[in-house]
């Protein structure tokens, strides 16, 4: 069920065009405000054209005001609105008499309004009706037909044609009529194309605005999702590292309390172990905070950023890292960030779980593809059984977002190898 709504003219350009056509019609009316001969039929009893001229001006004003607000959402009422516009344009012609010259701008206004209100088929029908009305008025004007006793046009001056045969005179008149019809048809087509272009541009802008709003909403959703994922990652960090150290420290302190009175030497050993666990927990917290606060790729190349990351990693863990980078192309910032985060996460996992002494990081470019390999000599694990705390899911999701390939190879006692393949964006 449609709800009728009256809206202001949505297109200023078309509204200005209507005003120009109304101005042309108004100037044409003033050219008619001159003494006319008496007409027959229903106006034969009038001694003056004053009331008819005033009526024509009022009708034209009503016709113009109707374009300021237009009915939308109810097709039947819109058709009724266009029918009223047609009727008012005919009424102006009949009130003025000899109004064949004022009719074309009024018909063009009706077609413009129909194009705003209707889709393609209804526009064509309205244009055909407008063109048919123009032709009908022209034929009646040239044939000196007066509907309701009102002459629609000024008689053509025949004095200079009186020496021509009647057949040639008719050919000239019909030729002029044909030229007028062709000219109005071209103007009508141009106006419809202009209105169509304006409407198409408006629809494109609306679709673009809608797409921008959707993208903005998607960006907000992604940002919220990224925030949630980062919080979950921090929670895992605390649980997997700090939580482990604090739990172990709590056990050691309980042993201290248990042996404090009976075995002071053993209590001292447990107290020393508790202190070591506290220092390790503090160091882990500092490392995690530094990782969170660190801004990756601060207008630096990927090679420089990775070197700084590995240097910081070696200074805090005393694990040797061998870095090999062989890049040819300029890599996009999106891929750079993904590679950096993946290496960062992999090194963090190595420090926490692998008990490795050495890590090899190799980044190479071959055949418009980027290959990353991270291999350690740690204790390894079974990927099908133990994946908690390694951040493997986050790594894989980052690579899949770039349509890349991610694989992990590990066995207990044989270290761990991460292999990544990403197609470069050309």
Whether 168 shows a pLDDT value over 80: the answer reads no
For residue 359, tell me if it sits in a domain: yes
- The rounded distance, in Å, linking the Cα atoms of 404 and 332 is 14
Residue 380 has pLDDT above 80, yes or no: yes
Strand, helix or coil at 368?
Answer: coil
| Residue 249 pLDDT > 70 | yes
In a domain, residue 275? The reply is no
Q: Which of 12-26, 38-52, 248-262 has the lowest mean pLDDT?
A: 38-52
Position 160 scores a pLDDT of 52
Query: What is the pLDDT of the chain when averaged over all its residues?
Result: 79
What is the phi/psi pair of residue 376, to 5°? -125, 165
pLDDT above 80 for 52: no
Answer whether residue 151 is part of any domain.
yes
Query: Which of the listed residues 123, 155, 187 is the one where a domain comes to its end?
Result: 155
Which domain covers residue 118, as residue numbers? 5-155
SS3 of residue 164 by DSSP: coil
Q: Which of 155, 171, 203 is the last residue of a domain?
A: 155
For the domain that residue 353 is a member of, what is the CATH number?
3.30.565.10
Does 241 reside within a domain? no
Of 7-16, 61-70, 371-380, the one with minimum mean pLDDT is 7-16
What's the whole-number mean pLDDT along residues 197-226? 83
Q: Assess if residue 270 is contained within a domain.
A: no
Which residues are CB-neighbours of 359 under 8 A, at least 6 positions away? 319, 320, 321, 322, 347, 350, 374, 375, 376, 377
pTM of the model: 0.48
Q: Is the pLDDT of residue 374 over 80?
A: yes
- What integer is the mean pLDDT of 394-416? 87
Identify whether the C-beta of residue 41 lies closer than 8 Å to the C-beta of residue 149: yes
Q: Which residue has the higher pLDDT, 63 or 37?
A: 63
Kindly state whether residue 177 falls inside one of the protein's structural domains.
no
State the DSSP H helix or E strand holding residue 25, giving kind and residue range, or none if neither: helix 12-32
What are the tens digits of pLDDT across the range 278-292?
Answer: 887 887 777 766 666
Q: Report if residue 413 sits inside a domain.
A: yes
Domain membership flag for residue 134 = yes
Percent pLDDT > 90 in the chain is 14
More confident residue, 298 or 360: 360
- In angstroms, the CA 360 to CA 320 distance is 9
Chain CA centroid to CA 425, Å: 24
Averaged pLDDT for residues 317-332? 87
**The predicted structure's pLDDT at residue 294:** 57
Question: Among 120, 155, 190, where does a domain finish?
Answer: 155
Lowest average pLDDT, out of 23-32, 181-190, 272-281, 351-360, goes to 23-32
Q: Residue 300: what pLDDT?
A: 72
For residues 181-200, give the mean pLDDT.
Answer: 88
Considering its fold, how many domains does the chain have in total?
2
């Amino acid at each position: 069920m449609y709800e009728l709504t009256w809206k202001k003219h949505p297109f200023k350009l078309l509204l200005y065009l209507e005003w120009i056509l109304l101005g042309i019609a108004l100037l044409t009316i003033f050219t008619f405000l001159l003494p006319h001969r008496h007409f027959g039929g229903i106006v034969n009893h009038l001694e003056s054209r004053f009331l008819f001229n005033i009526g024509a001006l009022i009708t034209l004003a009503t016709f113009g005001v109707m374009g300021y607000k237009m009915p939308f959402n109810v097709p039947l009422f819109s058709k009724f609105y266009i029918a009223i516009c047609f009727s008012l344009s005919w009424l102006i012609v009949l009130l003025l008499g000899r109004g064949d010259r004022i009719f074309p701008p009024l018909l063009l206004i009706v077609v413009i309004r129909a194009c705003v209100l209707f889709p393609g088929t209804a526009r064509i029908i309205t244009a055909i009706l407008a063109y048919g009305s123009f032709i009908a008025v022209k034929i009646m004007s040239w044939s000196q037909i007066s509907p309701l006793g009102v002459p629609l046009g000024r008689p053509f001056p025949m004095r200079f044609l009186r020496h021509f045969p009647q057949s040639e005179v008719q050919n000239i008149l019909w030729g002029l009529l044909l030229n007028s019809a062709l000219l109005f048809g071209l103007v009508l087509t141009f106006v419809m194309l202009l209105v169509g272009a304006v409407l198409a541009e408006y629809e494109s802008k609306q679709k673009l605005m809608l797409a921008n709003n959707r993208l903005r909403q998607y960006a907000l959703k992604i940002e919220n999702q990224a925030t949630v994922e980062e919080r979950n990652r921090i929670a895992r960090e605390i649980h997997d590292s700090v939580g482990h150290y604090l739990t172990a420290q709590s056990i050691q302190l309980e042993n201290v309390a248990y042996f404090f009175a009976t075995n002071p030497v053993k209590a001292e050993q447990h107290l020393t172990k508790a202190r070591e666990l506290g220092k390790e927990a503090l160091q882990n917290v500092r490392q995690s905070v530094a990782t969170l606060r660190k801004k990756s790729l601060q207008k630096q190349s990927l090679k420089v950023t990775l070197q700084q990351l590995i240097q910081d990693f070696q200074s805090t863990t005393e694990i040797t890292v061998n870095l090999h980078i062989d890049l040819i192309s300029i890599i996009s910032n999106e891929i750079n960030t993904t590679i950096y985060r993946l290496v960062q996460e992999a090194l963090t996992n190595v420090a926490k779980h692998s008990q490795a002494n050495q890590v090899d990081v190799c980044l190479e470019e071959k055949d418009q593809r980027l290959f990353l390999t991270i291999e350690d000599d740690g204790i390894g694990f079974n990927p099908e059984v133990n994946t908690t705390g390694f951040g493997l899911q986050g790594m894989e999701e980052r690579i899949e977002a770039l349509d890349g390939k991610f694989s992990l190879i590990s066995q207990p006692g044989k270290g761990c190898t991460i292999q990544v393949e990403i197609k470069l964006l050309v």
